């Protein structure tokens, strides 16, 4: 079986493992992006999320907060605690 065929098989038989592996890879692999960074650093998580919301919109901010809550469930503690809104 070739690599792409193996990935297809894993995706079909074990979709949860397939997604878990890509999540793990996303933590390791960092893609360079043309991002303009602000010199002002937020002092609190709320300020950081407000800045994010102003750049990407309210829906994207909510999705990111949901993602952080999901990650917090899976991790042992090194994750910012985000209360649901």
pLDDT digits (tens, 9 = 90+) for 27-73: 766 555 555 666 667 678 788 888 888 888 888 888 888 888 877 77
* Rg of the chain on CA atoms, in Å: 17
Give the number of other CB atoms < 10 A from CB of residue 65.
19
Residue 53, pLDDT score: 84
**Whole-structure pTM value:** 0.40
Spans of all domains in the chain:
1-31, 35-85
């Amino acid at each position: 079986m070739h690599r792409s065929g193996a990935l297809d098989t894993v995706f079909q038989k074990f979709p949860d493992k397939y997604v878990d592996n890509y999540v793990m890879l996303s933590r390791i692999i960092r893609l360079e992006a043309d991002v303009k960074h602000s010199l002002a650093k937020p002092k609190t998580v709320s300020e950081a999320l407000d800045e994010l919301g102003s750049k990407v919109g309210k829906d994207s901010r909510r999705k990111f907060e949901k993602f952080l809550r999901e990650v917090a469930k899976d991790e042992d503690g090194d994750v910012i605690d985000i209360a649901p809104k």
